[in-house]
Every structure is written in C-alpha cells, then in structure tokens.
Amino acid sequence: MNLDAYRIRSEPFYQPVGDEIAVFEAAFAERLPVMLKGPTGCGKTRFVEHMAWRLAKPLVTVAAHEDMTASDLAGRYLLEPDGTVWHDGPLTMAVRYGAICYLDEIVEARQDTTVVIHPLTDARRILPLEKHNEIVPAHADFQLTISYNPGYQSAVKDLKESTKQRFLAIDFSYPPPAVEAAIVAREAGTDIELAGTLVAIAERSRNLQGHGLDEGASTRMLIHAGRLMRAGLPLEAAVRSSIVLPITDNHDIREALSAAIEACIP
C-alpha cells in the first residue's frame, strides 16, 4: 500500500509570519512531535498542508471529537465473509507507511487516544496495537502533529502534562493587517483595498473579544465576505451574513458591531 491519495499535489498558499517554517523543518528533521497552538480559523490546518507539500510527504488528517476512541485512530476488527479482519485506522496507516499525521484538536478526543500516541512520541517510536497483538515500528517518514486551541481548554478537558511535555509547540495568531489583507485578497479574489476594509472590520470585532464576544472574526470569515461580494452581494449584506450574524445572537453586541463596521466602510 502506498499513501499517494494522501499526497498534496499543488502548493497550498501559506504566508509565513515568523520562523514557524524553520521550526517545523527542524522538528521534522529530528522527527519530533509538534503541537500547533492558536485560535480558530487562523491557518493552522493550512500551515500543516503547506509543510506536507514542502517536505513532499503524505498528510493524513484526523479531526478529533469527543466520541473518538483509540480504535478510531489505531484500527479495529471488521466482520468479513472469512471472519474478522483487522483494518488499520488512519494513525496506523501513517505510522506503518510513512506520513505526517495531523490530529486536529486532539484534546476533544477521549483520553485513551492520547495514551495511544505516547509510545510514538518518545525514543521508542512504536505503535502497540494491543487488540491486534502487534507492535508497529514507525516508518522513517512518520511524524506526528497535533493542534490545540488554548482558549477552549477547561479543567475537565485538557491534555495531561505527561502528554504536553512530549510535544514541541508553535504559536499561531491572526497575521499582521497587511499580511492578512493580502491573504484575503488572494483567497477571495477581491482587490486589496476591499480586503483592507474587511481586515479593519475584523480588528474592530477582535477588540470586542472579552466584551461580549467569545472570539473575534477570523480570517476565514473575511474570505467568506469577500466571496459573497464576488457573487454579487453588496458589502453590508455580505459582512452581515458572514460576520455579524454568525458571531453573536446578542442584539446589543450586534448593534455595536454594526456601528463599528459602518465606521470602517470608506
């Protein structure tokens, strides 16, 4: 089996902000596990796709959720005509055949999943499949990357210290305005001036964070607004539908947000 279906054919656009590419390359050179930290919609998934393309390795992405168990990652027996047959899960596939495995928001998963990755993140670099009575040594190309949103963690649901200490970390945040405008213009196909207006709107919303908003507008939302305008909606309707209405249901915050937005419109 090869993992060709998991290779990324064309370069995913990624605009670096600091030394994150150098850090990831050094981590990959040493095959050390990496944790990407940062808020929603600021480009963590895009970054790992870009790095997989840059390093020319297959990328196996798994979005974790609170019902995800170790078996969803490692594999399980399925009933087939000739009896039960073992099927590798996505993590095992990446370990066995050599891929970057990206576990998105691993903290959402049940804790048995974090234990499964422990022996892959120290000198052993093995994946014990207890139910299959097999110990899979990691392929030379295997590397593990996880994402983590510090704003979401709570006392009841957090990575254990013994897990966190196994990972290098790279911090992500919203890019500086000029960089963000360039990203929006490119991704939404708008001119740079309009993109700048959208970024200004986003910054207003981010200032409201902690004052009634859980999180400000993400880069993704700005791209949504740009695309709606490309499809013919006027700016106000596009921003209302892509930013104001999704971000809050509170009438007063919506008013404040709309006023702030109006002030940004040239």
- Sketch the per residue contact string, 222 through 261, with a second copy: x for CB under 8 A, - otherwise: --x--xx-xxxx---xx--xx--xxx-x------------
Q: For the CB of residue 217, give the shortest distance to a second copy in the complex, in Å.
A: 8
Q: Which of residues 81-100 bind a second copy (CB under 8 A)?
A: 81-84, 87-90, 93
x-marked contacts with a second copy along 53-72 as a string, rule CB under 8 A: --------xxxxxxxxxx-x
At closest approach, how far in Å is the CB of 111 from a second copy?
Answer: 5
Which of the residues 200 through 229 are near a second copy (CB under 8 A)? 214-215, 217-218, 220-221, 224, 227-228
Stretch that binds a second copy, among 36-44, 138-146, 192-200, 258-266 (CB under 8 A): 36-44
Q: Which position among 108, 177, 200, 253 is part of the footprint of a second copy (CB under 8 A)?
A: 108
- 115 lies in the site for a second copy, by CB under 8 A: yes
| Shortest Å distance, C-beta 145 to a second copy | 13
* Least CB distance to a second copy at residue 264 (A): 19
Length of the chain: 266
For a second copy, the binding residues in 153-192 under the rule CB under 8 A are 153, 160-162, 164-171, 187
For 212, other C-beta atoms within 10 Å of its C-beta total 13
78 is an interface residue for a second copy by CB under 8 A: yes
Count interface residues toward a second copy (CB under 8 A): 95
Q: Does 15 bind a second copy (CB under 8 A)?
A: no
